[in-house]
Amino acid sequence: MGLKFWRFLRAILFRQLSDWIPARPHVHDLEIRIAGSSQHVKKGKQKASVIQSAQVVKPVPWTPEEKREWEEMLVQLTASADFSLSWVKNPVWEAIRDKFIPQAPVVMWKVLTNRLHHLANDIRTKVKTKVEGKEVTLQGDGWTGLNNHHLIAFMVTCDKEVHTVKVHDALGERKTAEVLLDELERVLSTLQNEWGAVVVGLVTDASGESRKAQRLFACKYPHIIVLNCYAHQINLIVGDFFKSQSGLLEYMEMATKLIKGLRSKTCILHYLPYVVL
């Protein structure tokens, strides 16, 4: 009886201890739990990737204000980089836009042309505000464009900034001092009456008809200081030097011929660095 009793008591204690101490999980159970967790993580990642893909496919559309600002910035880029208006149809640019900014609207060159006029008017209004009531220096310079049109640009300097007032197309006009003087007076009237600026100086080229126009302008407006363009003066001095009979020019011509001869001999160019060293 005693042995049976102890066996019975041990069985009861073991059962109670088993209920109190958590059972050790089976290896197979752990594998099932790990596999389930990994599948849950994979499903979460797949769900996140689907959400991200949906966000890429369906970008937020731009507001009208953002579209207008985008078009104006493209106009500024066209002007600052000296691009032609057709660059917006460049295939490389279109590939960059479609890949990195797919939500950006496609802008045609006609849109840039329309925006260009509006943007120019806005800039002109801002410039008028900057120079109103201030002392400015008027300057004029002419050149021939790629389309063989003779252009004359009139600018003002105010607070160390240069602003364009007008670009005059002088194609078909005679290049005389009187014609240039008339155009200078029209620009002067615009600055004084429309822009409200105070013109205190004038700077133009100092040769030929431009010099004569300076003298005529100074006689009619003695209160305005008339100066020569020093960059143009230096250009004239260098031109006169090359026209002179200086002996230095002979050596310069010889040096030019020597350089041309060396550049035509590829074998000499190969060994020349070793000789110099």
pLDDT digits (tens, 9 = 90+) for 163-184: 999 999 988 888 899 999 999 9
The residues near 128 (Cβ < 8 Å, ≥ 6 apart) are 194, 195, 196
99-103 LR contacts (CB < 8 Å, sep 24+) = 102/56, 102/59, 103/59, 103/60, 103/61, 103/62
Say which residue, 243 or 103, is predicted with more confidence.
103
Residues 118-123, mean pLDDT to the nearest whole number: 88
Q: Which of 94-103, 148-157, 267-276 has the lowest mean pLDDT?
A: 267-276
Residues 98-109, mean pLDDT to the nearest whole number: 90
Residues 3-19, mean pLDDT to the nearest whole number: 50
- pLDDT-based confidence at 245, cuts 50/70/90? confident
Residue 33: its pLDDT value, please? 56
Residue 125: its pLDDT value, please? 92
- pLDDT-based confidence at 256, cuts 50/70/90? confident
8 A C-beta contact, residue 216 and residue 181: yes
The chain-wide mean pLDDT, for the chain, equals 81
The residues near 171 (Cβ < 8 Å, ≥ 6 apart) are 148, 149, 150
Q: Which of 8-12, 78-82, 216-220 has the lowest mean pLDDT?
A: 8-12
Tens of pLDDT, residue by residue over 34-74, are 555 555 555 555 555 545 554 555 667 889 999 999 999 99
Say which residue, 210 or 60, is predicted with more confidence.
210
Residue 108: its pLDDT value, please? 92
Cα–Cα distance for residue pair 138/226, rounded to 1 Å: 10
Residues 246-275, mean pLDDT to the nearest whole number: 82
**Rg of the chain in Å (alpha carbons):** 41
Say which residue, 74 or 249, is predicted with more confidence.
74
- pLDDT-based confidence at 31, cuts 50/70/90? low
Residue 265: its pLDDT value, please? 83
- pLDDT-based confidence at 126, cuts 50/70/90? very high
Residue 219: its pLDDT value, please? 96
The percentage of the chain sitting over the pLDDT mark of 70, rounded to a whole number, equals 78
Residue 20: its pLDDT value, please? 46
Shortest CA distance to 198 belongs to which of 148, 243, 149, 138? 138
Q: Is the pLDDT of residue 216 over 90?
A: yes
Residue 91: its pLDDT value, please? 94
